[in-house]
Structure 1
Amino acid sequence: MSENPQWSVMPLGRQLNLKRGHDLPKRLRVEGAIPIYSSSGLSGRHSTAKCEPPGVITGRYGTIGNVFFASEPYWPLNTTLYVEDFKSNDPKFVYYFLKTFDWDAYSDKSAVPGVNRNHVHEELVAFPPVDEQRAIADVLTSLDDKIDLLHRQNKTLEAMAETLFRQWFVEEAEDGWVEAKLPDEFDFEMGTSPKGDTFNEHGEGMPMYQGNADFGFRFPQRRIYTTAPKRTAKKGDTLISVRAPVGAQNMASETCCIGRGVAAFRLSQNPMFIAYTFYKLRAMMTEFEQFNAEGTVFGSISKRDVSELPILLPPPDRIEKFHRHVGPVDAKVIANCKQIISLEKLRDTLLPKLMSGEVRVAS
């Protein structure tokens, strides 16, 4: 909490008013343009708005601690709390402030966690003057806007690359292309998990990815490390989730250990053609995902199954042409991902410092 005398210290309930969200039975959740927010985020759309923007919504029951900003009319479900009255505070500042709030301290610790609004209202908090609130919100919003722009750009670039792949290797596939199996074109490694006592979360050893839960937009997120890796992927390898669920896709940003939920692929002809590998395997997702419905509770695909996946072998010159055209596009996606990681790290470092007054912004 800031000790700056210009910041007002008082119970949260005097700085703003939180209200429990509203019931909306599923049978009444008709399709419309109004976003519906649950404790975990956007959960559909409705034809009627319950609240006018700007809105700040946070999880109250089930998933607590998530905070969302609504810039359009919205409906907060009864699993949420929403700011009914900002009491002249800047809404975007309130949004960022609530993202740093210690919601776990108010969890009832039950099997399905929940928080009581009245207890939250009693927490002593410090808010700066409104001009400084706006300056803080502007800094954080500029970072979030840049991150959002890069995400949208990446989706556009990936869609362009997928369209070109589909045109050159699916729609324009020629009768003379050889029918083969996946190992005839790609080298691959099925992961296996090291011993549990080699795991840690403080960065000792090699990062290890165990499956879909670790995957991000393009690169997996570091979470677990191992001091005794068994099988590894190389930088640029395409990673596929092979267990529960099968088919999620990422790319290795570095040499890493792969657990038994992951397989790593690279083009035998030229491992540097990482974009071709990535989009060829993305085009095969239907073949991978069929193993989610093989009669088991948790889908999985074995090395033998992977080895039997059918493919067409295009001529090397077409693969090289694709690499020349799409390689730079995909390199931009990778560069954007790295910039997103840097911006998110900067934002997450600044956020608590700005909210506590440790770092000041001229208003």
Structure 2
Amino acid sequence: MSNQVAEVSAKYLSEAAKNAVPVGYKQTEVGMIPEDWGVCELEEVITLQRGFDLPNRLRQPGTIPIVSSSGVTGFHNKAMIKAPGIVTGRYGTIGQIFYLRESFWPLNTTLYVSEFKKVSPEYAYHLLKTVDFESHSGKSGVPGVNRNDVYQERICVPSAKEQTAIANALSDVDALISELEKLIAKKQAIKTATMQQLLTGRTRLPQFALREDGTPKGTKPSELGEIPEDWVVKKIGDFTDCTAGGTPSTSISGYWGGTHPWMSSGELHLKRVFDVAERITDSGLANSSTKYVPVDSVLIGLAGQGKTRGTVAIARISLCTNQSIASVFPSESHSTDYLFYNLDNRYEELRGLSTGDGGRGGLNLTIIRNLSLPYPDIEEQTAIATILSDMDAEIQALEQRLGKTRQIKQGMMQELLTGKTRLVQPLNKESQHG
């Protein structure tokens, strides 16, 4: 009997501990919040208004930004809303939120905050980012945000002092995110310019720029335009070959879930393929046209009306592919990374080469084999690819840092906007009452 009592007591105490209210906090309909915070509906702290029509014929040249659901779409000579202001997407990019520190004209595709009550504009901006606008759209049959539904969102509100502290902390992280985004864009632009120079031979790396007598190497005409005098033009079929894959029947479960990596064309966006989502069995491999391609094969999307057709990646493992991917084999006479960068830099050209009316068809192996490219010796190909790979590694490191910073911000929002972590000393009961 005593053991049963002990077990029941332990269970009761455990449940009580789960439901216990920490000192300085209170249980509310939005969860546990600090005692000195309040709870209200969103309508009590902000007023959302629709934007205003501004037909093109009425737009006058100026410096006032015109804001739509997707951001700044132009400029006008007149402001409708004074700064600061917050705009959120009402159609299209629903829930996309902009904070404007200058006066602006909101188009009618947006919702903007016309009045701040109990909250500062800076705090309201971060608060609105926690609202699930998607869940408040389309209820009337129109694919847009229903502001009356949004108004019913229950939120918690700290003191003005704590609002300022929270907004400042989150804005500091936003500033870091913005700087990282700008730096990544700058590095990407530098890489693009470097590719255009190195892959065409307009700029030579120092160790390849001079003749044996020390004079600068010149250029010569070719079917691709001017190229370095010691380069040639080759078709892919001149120095290697390519193949396409296949797809085991999806209606036969025994073909799927095995050990052989099988890549779909949707995974070309990985660019450097170290792993893929699907696996096929021995039977799936044997009973389809898919086949293994070697490590370092360059992969090209052959079909697809979206972005897939013409997308280029490189296999860092040996794998099988579907029929919508061409795999260009590695060889001893060319650098696969050089070929990858050359083709990756020709995305629009590849899409334009597609068979079918207006390029709406697809690429094929004949087109791939007949693609021409400037072709330096393999030492220079490797050196060019190394420079570009180093730049990619730097960009990837920055993107990883950006991703981590965004995760940190999400964690900060969850902690700060709910009061789990406090940035100011909580008000004591005496100060609360007077």
Pairwise TM-score range, normalised by the shorter structure: 0.7 to 0.9
Q: Which residues of structure 2 form unaligned runs of 5+?
A: 1-29, 203-226, 254-259, 282-289, 426-434
Aligned residue number for residue 15 of structure 1: 45
Aligned residue number for residue 339 of structure 1: 401
How far does the alpha carbon of each residue in 1:233-257 deviate from its partner, in whole angstroms, 9 at most, with x for none?
Answer: 9999877654224567576798698
SS of 2:99's partner is strand
Aligned residue number for residue 244 of structure 1: 305
Q: Does the 8 Å CA contact 1:236/1:251 hold for their aligned counterparts?
A: no
1:295 and 2:325 correspond: no
1:25 and 2:25 correspond: no
Q: Does the 8 Å CA contact 1:21/1:78 hold for their aligned counterparts?
A: yes
SS of 2:79's partner is coil
CA distance in 2, matches of 1:8, 1:253: 55
Q: Does the 8 Å CA contact 1:12/1:120 hold for their aligned counterparts?
A: yes
The structural deviation recorded for 1:228 is 4.3
Q: Tell me which of the two structures has the higher relative contact order, counting C-alpha pairs closer than 8 angstroms and 6 or more residues apart.
A: 1
Give the AA of the match of 2:404: S
CA distance in 1, matches of 2:295, 2:189: 23
Q: Which residues of structure 1 form unaligned runs of 5+?
A: 199-204
CA distance in 2, matches of 1:111, 1:225: 37
Give the AA of the match of 2:174: D
Aligned residue number for residue 84 of structure 1: 114
1:134 and 2:134 correspond: no
Q: Does the 8 Å CA contact 1:211/1:262 hold for their aligned counterparts?
A: no
Aligned residue number for residue 34 of structure 2: 4
TM-score, structure 1 as length reference: 0.76
Q: Does the 8 Å CA contact 1:169/1:314 hold for their aligned counterparts?
A: no
Using the TM superposition, name which of 79-88 and 44-53 deviates more: 44-53
The structural deviation recorded for 1:333 is 0.9
Name which of 224, 234, 237 aligns with 1:180. 234
Q: Does the 8 Å CA contact 1:245/1:292 hold for their aligned counterparts?
A: no
Q: CA RMSD in A?
A: 4.2
CA distance in 2, matches of 1:45, 1:249: 35
CA distance in 2, matches of 1:140, 1:232: 49
CA distance in 1, matches of 2:42, 2:357: 52
How many residues are treated as equivalent by the alignment? 352
SS of 2:40's partner is strand
Q: Does the 8 Å CA contact 1:140/1:351 hold for their aligned counterparts?
A: yes
Aligned residue number for residue 304 of structure 1: 366
Which has the higher Rg, Structure 1 or Structure 2?
A: 2
Aligned residue number for residue 148 of structure 2: 118
State the identity %: 30
CA distance in 1, matches of 2:113, 2:312: 37
Aligned CA distance change for structure 1 residues 189 and 117 (closer, same or farther; 3 Å)? farther
How far does the alpha carbon of each residue in 1:120-169 deviate from its partner, in whole angstroms, 9 at most, with x for none?
Answer: 22333212223322333333333333232222222222322333333333
Aligned residue number for residue 348 of structure 1: 410
Give the AA of the match of 1:310: S
How far does the alpha carbon of each residue in 1:43-97 deviate from its partner, in whole angstroms, 9 at most, with x for none?
Answer: 3443433223322111223442222222333222112111112235232322222
CA distance in 2, matches of 1:333, 1:264: 26
